[in-house]
Structure 1
Amino acid sequence: MALQISATNPEHPAVLLELPWHLPLEEWPEKYLVPLPRGISRHVVRYARAGAEVVAVKELAERPATREYELLRTLARVGIPAVDPLAVVTGRSGSDGEPLEPVLITRHLNGSLPYRSMFETTLRPTTVHRLMDALAVLLVRLHLAGFAWGDCSLSNTLFRRDAGAYAAYLVDAETGELHRRLSTGQREYDIDLARVNIIGEMLDLEASGALHPSVDPIAFGTEICRRYHDLWTELTRTSVYPAGKYHYIDRRIRRLNDLGFDVAEMQIQHSSNGDTVTFVPKVVDAGHHQRQLLRLTGLDTEENQARRLLNDLESWMATQEDYAPGDPLGARTEVLAHRWVREVFRPTVRAVPQQLRGAMDAAEVYHGLLEHRWYLCERAQHDIGLEKVVEDFVTHVLPQSPEAANETGAAQGTDQAPPSR
């Protein structure tokens, strides 16, 4: 059988053909590989360079490779945070003519880390809490989309910094199933499996000495259930309000927006006697602040980053003479938003040297500057301009940051993960 590459982009096959498909993945020469931290996997996984991109290559049988490829494509279409599928390579054979396992190729998620790399230095309990929050949000989003993961764990997740918190991405969909809607039993099975997996992973970290002494593996593993159920209840519960109190519905929608979700479809019913109104959010979409920032500025960020940037944008717009506060999404606001990107956001980020940013993207760099500005202003007890903030940030903060250290390590060809704050 001849080598066959099924890819999402017509440009990828030509680039991917340069990789040594005649060799088992474990035997690929170092010149093709990229030294990035890898998580635990039941399959052989390597990071390689394909043209200008870094890709993750995973060996597995043809049927599960094709199935996972299609599932990841579907998740991408519905906006679920997951690794981006690029291709499936089949028909591989070694130099001796013996068949080799097919591979699934996904795009490396820039700035992401597997959980074990994050625990190479002892994480504080508050940081572990943030990881659990991110994983709970990911699981809720998957279930809202009708996706039963079937193997939720820290090992099957990648984490990216998101304005002081974390964003979680699904990295392994091999056991997943997509349905029109999940039953309570299907959701509870996923949650219970997540609890068992996470407790096992945390106990393993504890045994290796990588867990903070105050972190109880069983308590933290069980915590994912509570966090998931709290969020799921808030997103899906039925509310009953007195008739005429329609602002209560608006308040509920605003609370969902604050959690980062939009109500795309709702059901409102009056009681038979007209005394009460029942409100049910039927379709809830994640990424409220992401969509708003993208619509206003064209910046595509994580959810918490978007919330922080929108706050800074609004504060800046309030200082402009042509600001119209009663027209938050109108044409005049869009003009101001693009001016903020052009005159504030981009020049500020560009003032930070690329070699000091490490794995931080532009939005995370700007968030870091806003955090540092708050610190400097509190210390000085007066406002400090962004120009001085950038200078102090570049001089005193970034050279000691884990991101800069990781960038240096990658440049030197090490396989070292950055420590966490």
Structure 2
Amino acid sequence: MSGSLNIVSATADPALLDLPWHLPLDAWPNQNIASLPKGISRHLVRFAHLSGRVVAIKETTSEMATGEYDMLRRLQGLDLPCVEPLAVITKRTDEDGAPLKSVLVTRHLKFSLPYRALYSQTLRPDTATRLVDALAVLLVRVHMVGLFWGDVSLSNTLFRRDAGAFAAYLVDAETGQLYPGGLSNGQRENDLEIARVNIAGELMDLEAGGRVADELDPIRISNGIVAAYRSLWTELTGSESFASSERWRITERVERLNNLGFDIEELGIKTDESGTTVRIQPKVVDAGHHQRRLLRLTGLDAEENQARRLLNDLDSYRASYGNPDADEEMVAHEWLVRVFEPVVRAIPRELKGKLEQAEVFHQLLDHRWFMAQNQGKDIPLAEAVTSYVQDVLRHRRDEVTVIDPPTGSITMPIPVTDAVGSDDDEPDWRLNV
């Protein structure tokens, strides 16, 4: 280091001082750099090793780095899915004392991928639709806390596998603005239009490079976020009226919201003067219903769809328990010890970086079901685990940091470049077979 470096960080890590801050980010030596696929950004972004983990470092101005760091910390406090900010480094100078750009340091989100790394030979329509649906859910959650994103796109989002779907995380918050009083309809529609246009452009870019299936329609897919967003927004915030004799519809509404993964902290219920009509409207809706139930019962922290799948297996275990009055927490502990943990322990050490534990368990359940269908009989758990590990998991690409190229016969895109150079230059993607 040289000069008076200034580090602002919520979690002090002395290893930050060991990184070569006196060098421009594009000149950092290879021993500091982690080669991970990344999205397209207007700023230079590189991944680096820090204290046995991987961090993302973005060069920008001091004002933008500080503003985005503060915004990400506020969003974390609101339980919004986003990357974790670690530090802002300002007053950087080179060995001759010339000023260098400030940087924002965020923790790399394990088992996450940019959208360009989530397809194999070509991007299929169903994969693109699932990505857009995940982004629609994230945008609804963003708007519900009063955040105007301002730059909604697939590139500014990271995706994690979630039991056949995807969970979306906000990555770039430099254009975000929080409005404590909530967003107007015009602000929400503006963000939604930005999302539609950006997604269409990103998919057209892939289409021009021959990286999407012939039947994929970028306009139709991008329009899908509008429909998905409005449907979810109406379900979460819209009011409905019904006859007072149909009070069961209150429970039905709550169950629909729970099935979408949301909890209701407060439900507004009003009747008219005659008492014949009831009007209900959820006032505060919070995401993560299944996540919280799984965490409460088992201590497992999973994505929402993964949690739903694990809870389904837990509920099936409880149904076959033989005692319908058995304590739920006791049965959950037994399921954890006798079912989930043996599966996790059965995964060889060298394969534990392939997928998250909850995703492994979800895929194992699918694999066991297909085996049973093919063989026409129930498959013991141990037999299914052995088959899944050898025939499926061993041939998957590591997704804990997605550094190594794929193995086996599965094809996945990897960047030929070593994340060297500006993000303005799109990396050359090719297939390794």
> Shorter-chain-normalised TM-score: which range?
over 0.9
Given that 1:136 and 1:224 are in contact with CA atoms closer than 8 Å, whether structure 2 keeps it comes out as yes
Distance 2:172 2:120 in 1: 22
Name the residue aligned to 1:6: 8
Given that 2:148 and 2:191 are in contact with CA atoms closer than 8 Å, whether structure 1 keeps it comes out as yes
Once the two structures are TM-superposed, the CA of residue 402 in structure 1 deviates from its matched residue by 3.9
Given that 2:35 and 2:403 are in contact with CA atoms closer than 8 Å, whether structure 1 keeps it comes out as no
TM-score, scaled to structure 1? 0.93
Alpha carbons of structure 1 residues 152 and 73: separation in structure 2 relative to 1, 3 Å: same
Name the residue aligned to 1:46: 46
Once the two structures are TM-superposed, the CA of residue 323 in structure 1 deviates from its matched residue by 5.0
Name the residue aligned to 2:250: 249
Alpha carbons of structure 1 residues 120 and 95: separation in structure 2 relative to 1, 3 Å: farther
Name the residue aligned to 2:261: 260
Q: Which amino acid aligns with 2:193?
A: D
Given that 1:36 and 1:410 are in contact with CA atoms closer than 8 Å, whether structure 2 keeps it comes out as no
Taking the TM superposition and a 5 Å limit, the aligned residue runs for 1:84-99 are: 84-99=84-99
Once the two structures are TM-superposed, the CA of residue 399 in structure 1 deviates from its matched residue by 2.9
Q: Which amino acid aligns with 1:43?
A: H
Once the two structures are TM-superposed, the CA of residue 19 in structure 1 deviates from its matched residue by 0.6
Distance 2:17 2:406 in 1: 25
Distance 2:355 2:295 in 1: 19
Name the residue aligned to 2:20: 20
Question: 1:367 is matched with which residue: 362, 368, 381?
Answer: 362
Once the two structures are TM-superposed, the CA of residue 104 in structure 1 deviates from its matched residue by 0.5
TM-score, scaled to structure 2? 0.91
Distance 2:113 2:85 in 1: 18
Taking the TM superposition and a 5 Å limit, the aligned residue runs for 1:236-385 are: 236-321=237-322, 323-324=324-325, 332-385=327-380
Name the residue aligned to 2:426: none
Q: Which runs of 5+ in 2 are unaligned?
A: 408-413, 417-428
Q: Which runs of 5+ in 1 are unaligned?
A: 326-331
Name the residue aligned to 1:142: 142
SS in 2 for 1:93: coil
Once the two structures are TM-superposed, the CA of residue 410 in structure 1 deviates from its matched residue by 8.3
Q: Which amino acid aligns with 1:247?
A: W
Q: Which amino acid aligns with 1:250?
A: T
Alpha carbons of structure 1 residues 50 and 189: separation in structure 2 relative to 1, 3 Å: same
Once the two structures are TM-superposed, the CA of residue 302 in structure 1 deviates from its matched residue by 0.3
Once the two structures are TM-superposed, the CA of residue 322 in structure 1 deviates from its matched residue by 5.0
SS in 2 for 1:17: helix
Once the two structures are TM-superposed, the CA of residue 87 in structure 1 deviates from its matched residue by 0.9
Matched, 1:390 2:391: no
Taking the TM superposition and a 5 Å limit, the aligned residue runs for 1:88-167 are: 88-119=88-119, 121-167=121-167
SS in 2 for 1:173: coil
Q: Percent identity?
A: 51
Give per-residue Cα distances to partners, 1:167-199, cap 9 Å, x unaligned. Answer: 111100000001120100000000001111111
SS in 2 for 1:355: helix
SS in 1 for 2:18: coil
Higher mean C-alpha deviation, range 304-313 or range 121-130: 121-130
Distance 2:78 2:335 in 1: 30
Give per-residue Cα distances to partners, 1:52-98, cap 9 Å, x unaligned. Answer: 21100001111111111111111111111111111111111111101
Name the residue aligned to 1:231: 232
Name the residue aligned to 1:204: 205
Distance 1:359 1:89 in 2: 33
Distance 2:113 2:294 in 1: 25
Name the residue aligned to 2:405: 409
Distance 1:321 1:127 in 2: 41
Q: Which amino acid aligns with 1:192?
A: E
Name the residue aligned to 2:424: none
Equivalenced residues, count: 410
